[in-house]
Amino acid sequence: MTHAQQTTGTVLSESETRHLTETLLQILEPHLQSFNSAITQGLQQVLHDIEPLILEGTVQQAADHVSKERLEVWFEDLRLQKPRLPRARALQSTGNLRARGFADELELGLDPSAILPHQCRALQSSYTGSLSVVLCWRATRISHGCYRKDSTLCNTALWTNGSYAEDVYRSERHLGEVPILVGSKLCHLDGLSPNERVALHEEEYDYGGYFIVNGVEKLLRMVIMPRANHVMVIARDANVRRGEHFTRFSAMIRCRRADRVRVVTNHLHYLQTGLLRLRFSVKRQEYLLPLGLVLKALYDLADRELFLLLTMPSGCCGTNADENLRYIRERALMTVRELHVLTGGEGTQHAALSYLGARFRCLFPEYLSSDDSDERCGAFILRRYVLIHLDDPLQKLELLAYMSRKLLHYMTGCLAEDDPDSLANQELLLPGQLWLLFLQEKLQDALFALRDEISRQLTQRANQGSLLDPDFVRKCVSKPRSGIRVGERMLHLLSTGTASLRDGAELLQTSGYSIIADRINFQRFLSHFYSVHRGQYFLNLRTSESRKLKPETWGFICPVHTPDGAPCGILNHLTRMCRVVADQQQVLQEQKRIEWILETLPLEHPLAHNDALLMPPANARPVLVDGRIRGYVHGDVPLGKLLRQQKLEHFPQTEIVDVEIPRLFPSVMVFSTPSRLMRSVWNMPQAGIEWIGTMEQLFMPVDLCKSQSMSRAGNAAIHRELSATNIFSLLASFIPFSNMNQSPRNIYQCQMGKQAMGVPFHDWDRRFDTKSYRLLTPQQPLVQNRSEAQAGWSKVFGSSFNAVVAVISYTGYDMEDGMVINRASLDRGLAHGAIYGCEFVDLDQLNVAKDARFSRLPAVGERMTPGSVLYSIQGRRPHLYRNSETSYVDAVLLAENQRRVAIRTRTPRRPVIGDKFASRHGQKGVLSAIWPAEDMPYTSDGIVPDILFNPNGFPSRMTIGMIVESIAGKAAAVHGAVPIDASAFERETEDASDRSNEPPHDFFGRLLLNTGYTYHGTETMYNGYTGEPFVVQIFIGVIAWQRLRHHIADKFQVRTEGIVHQTLRQPLRGRKRGGAIRLGEMERDALLASGAAYTLQDRLQSCSDLHTVYVSALDGSLLAPIAAPNERLGATSRISVKSRTNTRSPVVRVHMPYAFKYLVYELAAMNIRVSLPVK
């Protein structure tokens, strides 16, 4: 029997199990596939992007020559292993026993030293694997007069001074323990069936997708980023502040290769002088280059050819074509002239490269030696920071010319601005990609640390080391300072969510990348995996542009699943049918198929073709494949249609965009890179499911239903929506009849659905979470949506219960969202829950002796009251149970070394007055009264409702879906047809004779009429006190209700004494430390307006910081009688002090707040005297 069957007592059918598994894997797919790609191809891609470091030794001068020692260091063979126990601890274990009661099954062939996720949770450790790398170095003695050709950096021969050695030395280094994603290919649970996972004490339906750091489940967020390899023309006010002559207008492209890790963004700015500047960032510093200089440095193109490339007609010049072309030609001519001015009139590639290298050489002393030429340095800059997704310099030149043409056409007014906040121009930064970016930077830091250590050893006088000596380098490598702990930095990323990258990624935020995958219920846990965040930068913007729900998000972003408040519109959730392209292997395969098919289509060749230079044809549309100009096509060739015919069979995850709309730059764009959003529609001509992208959707009509297909005159749609509910996220699709509710109510339900108590997991025996909630009596709702019923969500992870609800104002306690619950319903277990807490004790972290052990641990089932002994340590006082509620010890886990223990307690939570409840329609209310069953109203059949709900809650909230759910639930209870379909916009019925197109309330009303009830679901109810029938008909039905995690036992604050402020002697705030609630200015004004002066005095003085002081009766001074008078001398009036006038004065005892006395002392320190007139 599985955990789910043990805890819920239900068994899913084969169809429900299949749907549930498919849904879970679909949600976790971006996290699992991106991490799997990172640990397979990504580890080697990281090493490709890390340049070898160069370190030069001391110059050795002789009579006839000068020689140097040069050391080149790089990484090879980066390996990451599966999580294992430390070797010493594995030898101490017998078999694979980790802790008492945690013996795993050996029948699955699991390595005895392997550690499993549930053990990391219980022992508060991290699920990590060992990261190792091979450090390589090569030493060289350099002398003058050598000539070498380095084809990896530039096509021309480069002069260097040196003779390169052939000996390469290698040393394997351990870089620490790196966090491993649960469920990935490096996880021990990969490929196991549900029954095999249960045998290993893991959750049956837990497929991973998260990290475990110090026993806490954490995941990396998916962050929205600009679309990769796509040129956008934008206008931003921030561009004007970059310098003199800068305008608002620029073109940008975020460059990323599918087989690389680095990301670089290039901007092309338009100046008021008509010139263009290319901007990129190096080590967090921005640099600007003249466009003509970059174009000439990329390829030695003639000036006339360069001019023609920049002014090539594109067919989008509008009505004033001649004037616009003249405007573009003038700017192109200025670009060419500027090139000759900067290169001193040469205008050659050699001069352009030398110009760049001479100015950027100082930025890369670790990559370029002092003997490298300026030309080589310039080639290095172009390769590392200019359009890095392209390798061929001619392809870079052609794309830069395309960017300049698009920007200049926009300046003429022919083109519309691209919207960077539109989902069509965005993609996601996946967890695996962020993990790789951070790992790459930390590996680079490790090389820098090794370089610094070698330099430090060389500068020491006592060390006569040489770079040519392998033993000296090995000695430096073995030093503790020679490398940072990469594993600790990776754990820090997940613990804090902070990722500040120096170079490449250009992330808009430095924090907030990791979140805790809290399990209040399973729906909340899953929602973290399909949530997308716009970025912390946009959270503080004063504009709402980035928060708007735009039409192009249809089918990709859920319109109602976003939190209210500050993150509204910033934190969104993907729809349940939205996919993220994350399979790196499939992306590379589709790219090869695209190239093969494009070879067979009628394309004009690009600028670089078969080593020949061919100028593009005029008025032809460029064909861009992942930001690379693959060719050109004339307007009469339907290239987009030809590619789409091959899409379903050869490249289903590829996005094909055919742009032929006015005010948009005419082109054909093909996107196949990962991180893009795709969704499914029905392709009617090919009778199959087609996946379309966010930009692709803008240029194709999609019908909503079958009856509307092929109905548009002149623009017939060939695609149709699969379901009307595909626009909702998984959680939003669970709302019954959501199309009948006010939109804000659906937004509230998405939040309350994640706050409801439910079944967060099933392996309760193995979970030692700090705090977890559990609904003891979950039920399957009588009314469910199709997406919820098909997968059996409520059977396995239920978070609601069915209740008979009467809409009536009966007791007076149901005002202002108050609700009344039947006491008899609570006595039989309605909405009962429990809170599990866990306390971890590690003797190694306490100041105790090394041989100390626990002298007492509680027994399972032991009752804990405030003040009970929870555990005892040898040589110390017993540790008491400090919770104010009565709890029971649920489990005790003692580690094998007898020095770590986890004690889990269970606190029963029966609903009490003040607890919060909510329906599935955003109707939140507070339990205001628990009414005896004999005083509750009842129907003629003797049915007593469980909940009394005020009818005033419907007109203002307009939750018509809740009314229909009540009727449908009543019909389901009478007919036994469970569950009844409550899907929005559409409804399925099993009986073909039913009129499925009729409104739902008519359908359910007829069902009630057939069983003898009224059409509207109302009944005659009787007063519980008098037994008389009510004059009006009462609306009564069955509604699924939720108990929220907001309990009054966690919120109320009542105290008569406790901790106070050491200086002011006023009560401190904070419920956990026994603090008080602040009575502020508004509360004070309310009490004064009510005339409750004595209440105000009692709160602000008597129960706060009441203090007795002695005041001089002569001059009203508080400072004169500082010394406390002796009470044995008699009454206060007989005590006298010496005043400032040197006369004796009696003192008067005065009661006042201590804060006032402190204020008098503070003023006296500033030479300000305060006197009180006393009698």
Provide CATH code, domain 226-426: 3.90.1110.10
Q: How confident is the model at residue 451 (pLDDT cuts 50, 70, 90)?
A: confident
**Which range has highest mean pLDDT (90-104, 153-167, 303-317, 648-662)?**
648-662
Q: How many CA atoms lie within 13 A of 1121 on its CB side?
A: 27
What is the tens place of the pLDDT at every residue in 721-754? 998 899 999 999 999 999 999 999 999 999 999 9
User: Residue 329: which of 244, 266, 231, 404 has the closest Cα?
Assistant: 404
Output 810 or 95, whichever has higher pLDDT: 810
**Sheet strand arrangement including 211-213:** 211-213, 216-220, 514-516
Output 1123 or 54, whichever has higher pLDDT: 54
What is the tens place of the pLDDT at every residue in 657-666? 999 888 899 9
What pLDDT score was predicted for residue 109? 57
What is the tens place of the pLDDT at every residue in 1125-1153? 545 544 555 556 665 556 667 888 888 99
Return the structure tokens found at 244: 């003199």
Specify the range with the lowest mean pLDDT, choosing from 4-18, 81-95, 519-533, 902-916.
81-95
% of the chain beyond a pLDDT of 90: 52
What pLDDT score was predicted for residue 663? 86
The model's pTM: 0.88
d(Cα 117, Cα 105) in Å, to the nearest integer? 15
C-beta pairs of 238-247 under 8 Å, 24+ apart in sequence: 239/269, 242/269, 242/279, 242/286, 242/288, 243/288, 245/271, 245/272, 245/273, 246/271, 246/272, 247/271, 247/272
For 155, other C-beta atoms within 10 Å of its C-beta total: 11
Q: How confident is the model at residue 63 (pLDDT cuts 50, 70, 90)?
A: low
| Alpha carbon separation from 1004 to 785, 878, 967 (Å, rounded) | 15, 63, 6
Give the phi and the psi of residue 153 in degrees, each rounded to 5: -110, -30
What is the tens place of the pLDDT at every residue in 1085-1115? 888 888 898 888 888 888 888 998 888 887 8
What is the tens place of the pLDDT at every residue in 577-598? 999 999 888 999 999 999 999 9
Query: Coil, strand or helix: which one is 137?
Result: strand
Return the structure tokens found at 730: 């998984």
Output 838 or 988, whichever has higher pLDDT: 838
The answer to whether residues 430 and 34 touch, using CB atoms and an 8 Å cutoff, is yes
Counts for the chain of helices (H) and strands (E), in that order: 30, 52
835-909 is a CATH 2.40.50.150 domain:
yes
The answer to whether the bond into 112 is cis (omega within 30° of 0) is no
Choices 1.20.1090.10, 3.30.70.1450, 3.90.1070.20, 3.30.390.30: CATH for 581-727: 3.90.1070.20
What is the tens place of the pLDDT at every residue in 586-629? 999 999 999 999 988 888 888 866 666 677 888 889 999 999 99
Average pLDDT value over all residues in the chain: 86
Q: How confident is the model at residue 65 (pLDDT cuts 50, 70, 90)?
A: low
Helical H runs in 243-348? 291-298, 303-310, 321-342
Q: What is the mean pLDDT of residues 829-846?
A: 92
d(Cα 392, Cα 397) in Å, to the nearest integer? 9
Residue with tokens 């002014």: 311
What is the tens place of the pLDDT at every residue in 271-284? 999 999 999 998 88
Q: What is the mean pLDDT of residues 482-504?
A: 83
Residue with tokens 């005095």: 1097
Q: How confident is the model at residue 881 (pLDDT cuts 50, 70, 90)?
A: very high
User: Residue 1055: which of 1094, 1007, 1103, 1110 has the closest Cα?
Assistant: 1103
Return the structure tokens found at 931: 């009414």
Taking each helix axis from N to C terminus, what angle separates 303-310 and 393-411, rounded to the nearest 10 degrees? Answer: 50
Taking each helix axis from N to C terminus, what angle separates 291-298 and 321-342, rounded to the nearest 10 degrees? Answer: 70
d(Cα 744, Cα 432) in Å, to the nearest integer? 34
Which residues share a beta bridge with 171? 135
**pLDDT at residue 94 tops 50:** no
The whole-angstrom distance between residue 1144's C-alpha and the CA centroid of its chain comes to 73
Return the structure tokens found at 695: 């930009």
What is the tens place of the pLDDT at every residue in 364-403? 888 888 888 999 999 999 999 999 999 999 999 999 999 9
Choices 3.40.640.10, 2.40.270.10, 3.40.50.10860, 3.40.50.620: CATH for 732-762+787-832+912-1043: 2.40.270.10
Q: How confident is the model at residue 158 (pLDDT cuts 50, 70, 90)?
A: very low
Q: How confident is the model at residue 967 (pLDDT cuts 50, 70, 90)?
A: very high
Output 258 or 435, whichever has higher pLDDT: 435
**Which range has highest mean pLDDT (69-78, 138-147, 926-935)?**
926-935
What pLDDT score was predicted for residue 985? 87
Cα–Cα–Cα angle for 528, 531, 536, rounded to 5 degrees:
105
Q: Domain limits of the chain?
A: 31-114+129-181+430-504+520-530, 226-426, 581-727, 732-762+787-832+912-1043, 835-909, 1053-1102, 1106-1165
Taking each helix axis from N to C terminus, what angle separates 374-385 and 349-360, rounded to the nearest 10 degrees? Answer: 80
**Any idea which architecture 1053-1102 has in CATH?**
Alpha-Beta Complex (3.90)
Q: How confident is the model at residue 708 (pLDDT cuts 50, 70, 90)?
A: very low
What pLDDT score was predicted for residue 766? 86
The answer to whether residues 472 and 69 touch, using CB atoms and an 8 Å cutoff, is no
**pLDDT at residue 226 tops 90:** yes
Output 764 or 1140, whichever has higher pLDDT: 764
- Residue ranges of E strands in 461-519: 514-516
**Which range has highest mean pLDDT (492-506, 630-644, 791-805, 835-849)?**
791-805
d(Cα 261, Cα 345) in Å, to the nearest integer? 39
d(Cα 409, Cα 416) in Å, to the nearest integer? 9
